[in-house]
Amino acid sequence: MTDELDSLVKQMYQRGILYREAVSEFQKVFVASALHEYRGNLSHAAPKLGMHRNTLTRVIAQLGLDVSAFRSPRRRPPASVTAAERKTNARR
């Protein structure tokens, strides 16, 4: 793995990518990998990254990542919605 990383770093350096840009890009990919693995669940991704959930939230904001992109598009509706649906279905 270190050979691959060394190669990538050399390519970035040779292409003139600034240190700050390289670090930011690394952070984005690193955090995005954990968010993808845990489907956007910050409470599970944060320990995997070695940080507190609040810190992860701050890092995500600094990097400009959209957590909703990692979450499943199909989510269970809130309990209040399901209760309202039950009442509507009961009246039919």
In tens, the pLDDT along 34-63 reads 999 999 999 999 999 999 999 999 999 999
pLDDT tens for 1-34 read 889 989 999 999 999 999 999 999 999 999 999 9
CATH code linked to domain 2-91: 1.10.10
**How far is it, in rounded angstroms, from Cα 11 to Cα 48?**
28
Q: Are 59 and 32 in contact (CB under 8 A)?
A: no
pLDDT tens for 64-78 read 999 999 988 776 777
**How far is it, in rounded angstroms, from Cα 58 to Cα 48?**
16
